[in-house]
Structure 1
């Protein structure tokens, strides 16, 4: 009886935890086509960074387009940086590409923006592409970004 009680407690804890953890969708890969979407939110910061999935160790990614929706900002972003990291959660390996944020509009006291840029950046095998939204003055921001590119075998 004691075993069943402990087992049911573990199952309840496991199920509760699974629904509390953030879950990201896996990248879409069809032949050489690659598409990955990330969502993040940052509070009161001058730079909000999020990473796409780490690439397979055997493939390079030629990034063709980055498309983002930025929302809930109290300040207008000044730039965004697309960069290459050795892994998600790690800073740039020094390959940084800076762009201006496109359309910006305000509604209900918040500022919203869009990014829709063509890139031609090769991301190395096993690396993680990332994006950072930069502000001159601290701001909140929610980010939803899609990266589109072509996979290549690394030889």
Structure 2
């Protein structure tokens, strides 16, 4: 379907056509990608936990030192247009995943609302639902399903 010249950049460009600022602005700040996952070595099955990376601020759902995060967490995954095809654990509401699939952003996404807090208000973030890896103990005790599901809107 042809897009209007006035359409927002994410509706006009492929991920690999975006500049760095556009790419980074796609992150809605949900923090779901920063939750630890468990993968069964034999079956490859994936389980999600509510345990967040130690670099994630649990209130803002943002990395405490995004530019230098890989120095502290060497296995932190850097999303790129090329790496998306190999990543099977992004939440269904992730803008990178949605755009790669040819879909639009949800109505609560900050690029749509103009408000960085809209993700939290919509109940799409990990705020109030995650624990830091520093406090969690065994990951197996923290297996949850909600990070792999489309967020349900909070009712007022």
Same fold judged by TM-score > 0.5?
A: no
* Structure with the bigger percentage of helix: 2
TM-score (norm 1): 0.20
Larger strand proportion, structure 1 or 2? 1
Of the two structures, which has the highest relative contact order with CA contacts closer than 8 Å and spacing of 6 or more?
A: 1
Q: Which has the larger radius of gyration?
A: 1
Q: TM-score normalised to the size of structure 2?
A: 0.20
